[in-house]
Amino acid sequence: MLAAEAGMSTSSLYEHFRAVTAMTPLQFQKQLRLQDARSLMLVQDIDATTAAFRVGYESPTQFSREYRRHFGEPPARDIARLRASQGLAVVA
């Protein structure tokens, strides 16, 4: 749909998108979802499963696997490290 709106073929859109972002549209979308989930977990203090569903993942296992691949640690450990490094504490 986006390619049609831009007046180009799907393959041409992918090629141009990759030239600008150095990733495919799917990789870009995945990165945005992971960053959004990280922000939700950090700011709203929600668990990884809830964050995964909120950003569009259907499988918490897949989310955790992709999160670890992208950020280098599992979600809970990454969020704990971020909170500690920023001096943030969870207020109950």
d(CA 69, CA 78): 12
> Which 3-state string (H, E, C) describes 40-61?
HHHHHCCCHHHHHHHCCCCCHH
pLDDT at res. 72: 97
The range of the structural domain enclosing residue 49 comes to 26-86
CATH number for position 74: 1.10.10.60
pLDDT over 80 (residue 90): no
The token pair at 29 is: 């979308």
Mean pLDDT throughout 55-76?
A: 97
pLDDT at res. 87: 74
pLDDT at res. 89: 58
**Quick one: CA dihedral 5, 8, 10, 15, positive or negative?**
negative
pTM of the full structure = 0.82
Mean pLDDT throughout 83-88?
A: 80
Is 21 inside any structural domain? no
By percentage, how much of the chain surpasses pLDDT 70? 95
What mean pLDDT is reported for the chain? 92
25-63 pLDDT tens trace: 899 999 999 999 999 999 999 999 999 999 999 999 999
Q: Report the domain count for the chain.
A: 1
Is 2 inside any structural domain? no
